């Protein structure tokens, strides 16, 4: 992960001062074209979320809005119930992040700082979670949640999301916990701390950077998840953003502005997190892939 910045200098130095050649122009042309293709849907979403049908459907298809129609946003929030879906997604995300963090930090502590037979096997067992598809759990979870009357509740999403985020959480925590010197554990032990004391007073306070990485990764996973959300929580009161937005589309077949506003509301938190933490997010995705 750290290699990205280390070797950057070398690459820069090597190409600096080269002349402009036709092949270089072509490369830049393709790079910029692809960047525009990546940006266009988001740009288009932002602009048409502020337009009325007349502009979207002909007068001004891809330009900036002539009239900035903020009422699309109030309509998406009030009539489209985006405020409710947003709150639901937020509650589910926060609860999932908390459970994932606590469970994975505790398990990682047991598997890396405490000495016992089989701790490596246990770690491999948890790493299976990186490859198991969520399809495996759909029917059994649906049946069990139905029997326990937990369909259409926050629990119906928080528990599965936490479980599927666990492998990644443990993977990230293992990396961070390995950087904490063992001397600290011993010093705390000599001061009379038990395993819980060492965990609570030494390890947890030093795990703050891991909290951010695990938190972001888990947030992105559950904020965007569709399959569980659409099957387990179909009642209006518990719909998360992906399901709510999907429903809105049917409701506003012929009026695109409010849909654009709804899509923007669902996307802005992710984009904000990305703008401020792009490097950390990219690193967490790389870490997950290299191990899995």
Partner 1 sequence: MKKTLGYKVNIFLFLLPALFLFVAVLIAPIAMSFYYSLQNWNGLKTPEFIGFQNYVELFTSGSIKFTWALKNALLLALFSTIIQLPFALWLALKLAKGIRGERAFLSIYFMPVLISTVVIGQLWLKIYNPDYGVLNVALRALGLESWCQIWLGDRKIALGAAFVPILWQYVGYHMLLMYAGVKGVPPELREAGMLDGCTDGQLNRYIVIPYIKPILRVSVIFAVTGSLKSFDLIYVLTNGGPVHATEVPSTLMISLLFKRNRYGMGSTIAVMLILLCFFFAIVINAVFRKEKVV
Q: Which of 82, 92, 93, 163 forms a contact with partner 1 (CB under 8 A)? A: 163
How far is Cα of residue 8 from the mean position of the Cα atoms in its chain?
27
Rg, the chain, Cα only: 24
Q: What is the DSSP letter of 49?
A: T
Count of residues that interact with partner 1, criterion CB under 8 A = 99
CB of 26 to partner 1, least distance (A): 11
CB of 12 to partner 1, least distance (A): 4
CB of 229 to partner 1, least distance (A): 9
d(CA 284, CA 100) in angstroms, rounded, equals: 15
Task: Tell which positions 2-61 bind partner 1, by CB under 8 A.
Answer: 3-4, 7-8, 10-15, 27-28, 31, 34-35, 37-39, 41-42, 44-45, 48, 56-58, 61
Q: Which of 86, 164, 232, 238 forms a contact with partner 1 (CB under 8 A)? A: 164
DSSP SS3 for 79: coil
Residue 92 near partner 1 by CB under 8 A? no
For residue 282, which phi and psi values (nearest 5 degrees)?
-60, -45
Residue 266 near partner 1 by CB under 8 A? yes
Residue 1 near partner 1 by CB under 8 A? yes
Element (H, E) at 72: helix 71-78
Q: Which of 62, 64, 87, 237 forms a contact with partner 1 (CB under 8 A)? A: 62
When the beta carbons of 27 and 87 are compared against partner 1, the nearer one is 27
Task: Tell which positions 106-125 bind partner 1, by CB under 8 A.
Answer: 106-107, 109-111, 114-116, 122, 125
CA triple 101-106-109, angle to 5 deg: 120
CB of 251 to partner 1, least distance (A): 13
User: Other CB atoms closer than 10 Å to residue 228's CB: what's the count?
Assistant: 21
d(CA 105, CA 9) in angstroms, rounded, equals: 36
CB of 267 to partner 1, least distance (A): 5
CB of 74 to partner 1, least distance (A): 20
Q: What is the DSSP letter of 180?
A: S
- Judged by CB under 8 A, the stretch of 73-81, 136-144, 176-184, 206-214 that binds partner 1 is 136-144
d(CA 100, CA 89) in angstroms, rounded, equals: 16
Residue 187 near partner 1 by CB under 8 A? no
d(CA 39, CA 282) in angstroms, rounded, equals: 18
> Cβ(100)–Cβ(166) under 8 Å?
yes
Residue 278 near partner 1 by CB under 8 A? yes
Task: Tell which positions 234-263 bind partner 1, by CB under 8 A.
Answer: 241-243, 245-246, 249, 256, 259, 263
d(CA 119, CA 145) in angstroms, rounded, equals: 32
Spatial neighbors of 78 by CB under 8 A, at least 6 apart, are none
Residue 268 near partner 1 by CB under 8 A? no
Residue 154 near partner 1 by CB under 8 A? no
Residue 67 near partner 1 by CB under 8 A? no
Closest CA to 107 of 171, 153, 155: 171
């Amino acid at each position: 992960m750290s290699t990205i910045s280390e070797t950057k200098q070398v690459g820069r130095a090597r190409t600096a001062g080269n002349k402009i050649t036709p092949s270089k122009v072509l490369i830049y042309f393709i790079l910029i074209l692809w960047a525009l293709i990546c940006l266009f849907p988001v740009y288009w979403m932002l602009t048409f979320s502020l337009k009325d049908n007349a502009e979207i459907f002909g007068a001004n298809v891809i330009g900036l809005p002539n009239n900035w129609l903020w009422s699309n946003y109030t309509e998406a929030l009030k009539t489209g119930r985006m405020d409710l879906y947003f709150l639901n997604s937020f509650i589910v995300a926060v609860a999932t992040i908390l459970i994932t963090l606590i469970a994975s930090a505790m398990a990682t502590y047991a598997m890396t700082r405490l000495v016992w037979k089989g701790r490596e096997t246990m770690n491999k067992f948890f790493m299976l979670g990186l490859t198991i598809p969520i399809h495996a759990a759909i029917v059994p979870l649906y049946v069990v949640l139905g029997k326990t009357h937990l369909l259409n509740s926050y629990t119906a999403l928080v528990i599965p999301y936490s479980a599927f985020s666990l492998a990644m959480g443990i993977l990230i925590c293992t990396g961070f916990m390995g950087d904490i010197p063992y001397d600290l554990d011993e010093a705390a032990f000599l001061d009379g701390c038990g395993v819980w004391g060492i965990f609570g007073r030494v390890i947890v306070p030093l795990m703050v950077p891991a909290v951010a990485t695990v938190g972001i990764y888990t947030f992105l996973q559950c904020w965007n998840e569709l399959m569980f959300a659409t099957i387990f929580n179909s009642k209006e009161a518990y719909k998360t953003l992906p399901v709510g937005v999907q429903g809105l589309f049917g409701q506003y077949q012929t009026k695109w502005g409010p849909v654009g506003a709804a899509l923007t509301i669902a996307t802005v938190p992710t984009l904000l997190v990305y703008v401020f933490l792009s490097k950390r997010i990219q690193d967490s995705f790389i870490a997950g892939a290299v191990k899995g």
